[in-house]
Structure 1
Amino acid sequence: MADDRIIGGHVAAPDSIKYMVSLQRSSRQHFCGGSLVHRYWVLTAAHCNIGADQMMIVAGDYKVNIFEGTEQYAKPHKLVVHPSYNSSTNNADIMLIKLRAPMVLNKFVSLAPLPRQGTGVVEGHLCQVSGWGHVRVSGGGQVPLKLRTVTVPIVSAARCNGSDSFNGNITANMICAGYPSGGKDACKGDSGGPLVCRGRVYGMVSWGNGCGDAQFPGVYTKGTQRNNASINE
């Protein structure tokens, strides 16, 4: 991806996306997003796997690089990558993180609502993507202070797979979203963050070709019931 931020979005209201978590390196540098789907489990993208020992999960965050007193921290106990994940094709780019200790649900931290079995999204449906994706400055990277969000419409698999777009590289495990005119999108650094449609997490930020490109919508991994079957205590 060419540019590292939520494209065309705006700052989210404080405490409005309480299931959003920040995946941070041991140095406390944000690198991916995720969704708290159970007190012990986080849903994110498989390509965010840097190893459990190198990772810290932060819930209750809003200003990602400033301590606000609302944060909760947990180390991963184990990382469960989808068995069909392919880093070359980005197929099944989904991972569950089991935490060593549970997050405490409060007015700053809540669980992400998952889709009901058998439900899906259709073309034109407006969905919300959120993240702390990096902003490039003179070739470097800088994390925005506050959580940002953008609204994008679902794009049909047929159009996304067209010869003038991804040309057959979109699998059944993927969802495309973006405007025909481009300009609004998620980018690297937002990876693993939630795609929320009708108030439920239907997918997570996975990959794309550039950012906000009219020809290439953003690509998200479906967060299906089957993928979430591993969640337990």
Structure 2
Amino acid sequence: MEILRREGFKRCVEDSCKPKLLRVWLNNLLLISCCCISNHWIPIAVPVDDDDKIVGGYTCSVPYQVSLNSGYHFCGGSLLNNQWVVSAAHCYKSNIQVRLGEYNIDVLEGDEQFINSVKVIRHPKYNSWVLDNDIMLIKLATPAALNSRVATISLPSACVAAGTQCLISGWGNTLSSGSEYESNYPELLQCVDAPVLTEAECSDAYPGQITTNMICVGFLEGGKDSCQGDSGGPVVCNGELQGIVSWGIGCALQGYPGVYTKVCNYVDWIEETIAAN
């Protein structure tokens, strides 16, 4: 069974252009590469229509969601303040253009802000083999202008309880297989509402693979999930960033919920890193 990181692909116009997909096989620990909130108000996701997207979600607008770009969208992220973004460490690139205020990532709509990174800082204990401590911070070269389309999201005040409903968003694959050969990448931002699962449910789904720095969010029956291209994006519960899209087996498959970085474990590291840089 293949375990997939949820980073994205370059959009290709021609059928001959094959995407790049990194897959982590945790059963034998072999990594292979296959080629081809503001302080004053809580931003919310605004549903736009009822299309069946993300996998099993809907089109939405989320002001704290950002797109990480290196000539193409490859991961998501969340705006913490006007100069810092948090994402997944497996999305690391030394130079990243952060795109804020995005809704349709294929069209310039006039409200976007494109700001280059000046620092990209992975967690010092990030483990790429098992995706533990899968978190990184990005400092923007210039501060973002906050407005109705670009807003910040709050860090957790406490860890989230199982059963809490959360919002997951991104521009990732909307097909449930998660295969590089079966993909549909939307232009419009997608959202899905999903509950936090118990530690036992998470560990039972992925025996021996869940660390204390991970949470599962989703549905054991499948059908709704994040997918490739959503990596690094937000899981927001009660107005706080509780998760970062990290990995999973396939996408929206029965018995295999999405696995997310447990942000409440990193509040001190985030605050100390921002203060030091």
Structure 1 length-normalised TM: 0.89
The structure 2 residue matched to 1:24, chosen from 48, 69, 87, is 69
User: Conserved in 2, the CA contact under 8 Å of 1:123 and 1:154?
Assistant: yes
The structure 1 segments of at least 4 consecutive aligned residues displaced by more than 6 Å after TM superposition are 2-5
Q: Output aligned runs, 1:1-233, within 5 Å.
A: 1=4, 6-12=54-60, 14=61, 17-25=62-70, 27=71, 29-52=72-95, 55-116=96-157, 119-135=158-174, 139=181, 142-162=184-204, 165-224=205-264, 225-229=267-271, 230-232=273-275
User: Conserved in 1, the CA contact under 8 Å of 2:65 and 2:77?
Assistant: yes
Report how many residues are paired. 222
User: Conserved in 2, the CA contact under 8 Å of 1:2 and 1:210?
Assistant: no
| Structure 2 residue matching 1:228: 3-state secondary structure | helix
Q: Aligned equivalents of 1:108 and 1:174: distance in 2?
A: 30
Q: CA deviation at 1:226?
A: 2.2
Q: Aligned equivalents of 1:88 and 1:10: distance in 2?
A: 32
Q: CA deviation at 1:216?
A: 1.2
Higher relative contact order (CA 8 A, sep 6+): 1
Unaligned runs of 5+ in 1: none
Q: Aligned equivalents of 1:198 and 1:41: distance in 2?
A: 21
Identity percentage over the alignment?
A: 42
Higher helix share: 2
Aligned residues: CA RMSD = 2.0
User: Conserved in 1, the CA contact under 8 Å of 2:55 and 2:173?
Assistant: no
Give the letter aligned to residue 209 of structure 2: N
User: Structure 1 stretch 87-96 or stretch 172-181: which is displaced more?
Assistant: 172-181
Q: CA deviation at 1:227?
A: 3.3
Structure 2 length-normalised TM: 0.75
User: Conserved in 1, the CA contact under 8 Å of 2:243 and 2:262?
Assistant: yes
| Structure 1 residue matching 2:211: 3-state secondary structure | coil
